[in-house]
């Protein structure tokens, strides 16, 4: 990473990712490489696994249904989406066999080799933003950050503080988990993890916020 202020360093990182031959080779024609977005002064950085269909079109992480839910979760914390930083381990959408001229249907989780290739770029984003805490969204992201074989089921480590790149890391479920499980119990589990994040960074928490999804 070059010397300079945050915008200068982030622009250099963006140019490096866009110019990466491996990243470019893994992006289908007409699609985009995806780097993180948000405030370069964010105290909280959310980390997912990889772009999906909507993300590789727009070139921005978490813009599909799960991303819209993440935005609402951030708002429930009393923040705006542009006040946090949102990224993925992967800079491209993992490819699946697709007939020529057809759009890829569905997503697959990135494998260990793919994530190992992209992790230096995530570390560089952390170095630029300098967030107080990281939030891993989902099993694959947690495996990528903590190492494959660290856990078998996400429930084993969900809600626990770990560490990545010298930063406190909270592990929670991916927003898509809520899209599949609309119960208050499911929502409350993620919310409890986010309350811990809010406490860690010193965000004010109202009594109303503390009681979200208890009904």
Q: What is the pLDDT of residues 180-189, one digit of tens each?
A: 988 999 999 9
At residue 169, φ and ψ (nearest 5 deg) are: -125, 120
At residue 1 the predicted structure's pLDDT band, cuts being 50, 70 and 90, is confident
Helix axes 184-201, 65-76, angle to 10 degrees: 50
pLDDT value, residue 102 = 84
Question: Mind listing the pLDDT tens digit for each residue in 37-50?
Answer: 999 999 999 999 99
Question: Mind listing the pLDDT tens digit for each residue in 130-189?
Answer: 999 999 999 999 999 999 999 999 999 999 999 999 999 999 999 999 999 889 999 999
Tokens 């915008």, located at residue: 7
User: pLDDT > 90: what percent of the chain?
Assistant: 91
Beta-carbon-side half-sphere exposure of residue 68 (alpha carbons within 13 Å): 4
**pLDDT at residue 208 tops 90:** yes
Q: What is the mean pLDDT of residues 53-67?
A: 95
Query: Quick one: which of 35, 42, 64 has its CA closest to 52?
Result: 64
**pLDDT at residue 105 tops 90:** no
User: Structural domain boundaries of the chain?
Assistant: 6-95+105-210
The angle formed by the CA atoms of residues 152, 191 and 193, to the nearest 5 degrees, is: 50
**pLDDT at residue 101 tops 90:** no
What pTM value is reported for the model? 0.96
Q: What is the mean pLDDT of residues 178-203?
A: 95
- Helices marked H in the chain — which ranges? 6-18, 21-25, 53-58, 65-76, 112-129, 139-146, 175-180, 184-201, 207-210
pLDDT value, residue 167 = 97
pLDDT, the chain, mean: 95
Report the C-alpha gap between 69 and 59 in whole angstroms: 18
3-state secondary structure of 166: coil
Say which CATH architecture domain 6-95+105-210 belongs to.
Answer: 3-Layer(aba) Sandwich (3.40)
Report the C-alpha gap between 36 and 62 in whole angstroms: 9
């Amino acid at each position: 990473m070059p010397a300079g202020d945050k915008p200068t360093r982030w622009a250099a990182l963006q140019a490096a990712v866009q110019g990466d031959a491996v990243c470019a080779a893994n992006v289908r024609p007409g699609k985009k490489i995806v780097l993180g977005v948000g405030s370069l002064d964010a105290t909280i950085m959310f980390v997912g696994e990889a772009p999906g269909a909507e993300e590789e079109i727009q070139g921005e992480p978490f813009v599909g249904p799960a991303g819209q839910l993440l935005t609402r979760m951030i708002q429930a914390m009393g923040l705006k989406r542009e006040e946090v930083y949102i990224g993925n381990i992967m800079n491209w959408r993992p490819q699946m066999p697709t007939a020529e001229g057809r759009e890829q249907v569905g997503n697959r989780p990135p494998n260990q080799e793919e994530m190992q290739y992209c992790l230096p770029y995530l570390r560089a984003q952390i170095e630029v933003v300098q967030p107080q805490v990281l939030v891993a969204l989902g099993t694959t992201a947690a495996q990528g950050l903590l190492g494959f074989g660290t856990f078998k089921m996400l429930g084993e480590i969900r809600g626990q503080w770990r560490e990545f790149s010298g930063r406190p890391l909270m592990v929670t479920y991916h927003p898509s988990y809520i899209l599949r499980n609309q119960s208050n119990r499911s929502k409350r589990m993620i919310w409890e993890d986010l309350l811990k994040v809010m406490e860690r960074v010193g965000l004010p928490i109202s009594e109303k916020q503390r009681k979200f999804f208890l009904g």
